[in-house]
Copies of this chain bind each other. A is one copy, B any other.
Amino acid sequence: MNKEGLKIVISGPSGSGKGTIVNKLIENENSIVSISATTRKPRVGEVDGKHYFFRSKEDFEEMIRNNELLEYARFCDNYYGTPKKFVEDTTASGKNIILEIEVEGALQVKEIYPEAVFIFVIPPSLEELRQRLIDRQTETIDVIDKRLSRAKEELPYYKEYDYLVVNDDIDSAVTSIENIINCEMQKSSNFKKQIESMIKER
């Protein structure tokens, strides 16, 4: 069955654990995580084409003009975006591509790939989210409060997603998403060729 891979978009509030989930998902050899393009300088150890596609501002703006990006945004004077070609080459090869992107970017991707699978990851509660952010010990209470307000703003966007996964346990969240991927492959629209050849069979 040489079928096209799925496009899987995963979003969720900061602290929902979506990054950890994505890292576990790509241990499965049939899924690859999308690589973003950026104009920011590589940090020590970062490799072009592996962590990011590092591009000059001019090159990035040309990608925008040529419609080569699925979505892009500007943070702290740097561009970040998702190159279409890498996504489409991956699915054409039969592998699933996982896009871990913010709500705004996900909505842009939905315009281009309405057939993609949209998964929203949430923490079991906002209190739990707060605790996780505190436990990270990387942010001040002020920043944590901002992240919590942001999470509250993002939650209502769950409606734009096909599936919702409550991450109260990483392994069960990963299993849920693997199940979703399997189910999507059972969608009847994927079986056109198989049914047509069965009907011709005798």
Contact = CB atoms under 8 A, between A and B. Distances in A.
A188 B152 contact: no
Of listed A158, A166, A190, residue having the most chain B CB within 10 A:
A158
A65 interface: no
Contact of A120 (B122, B158, B188): B188
A195 interface: yes
A122 to B, nearest CB: 7
B198 A122 contact: yes
Contacts of A179: 179, 182-183, 186
B186 A164 contact: yes
Interface of A: 120, 122, 125-127, 148, 152, 155-156, 158-159, 161-166, 176, 179-180, 182-183, 186-191, 194-195, 198-199, 201-202
Q: Which 6 A-B pairs have the closest CB atoms?
A: A183-B183, A164-B188, A163-B186, A164-B191, A126-B201, A161-B188
- Give the copy number: 2
A187 B158 contact: no
B199 A152 contact: yes
A1 to B, nearest CB: 10
A114 to B, nearest CB: 15
A8 B180 CA distance: 17
A179 B182 CA distance: 8
A110 to B, nearest CB: 13
A127 B188 contact: no
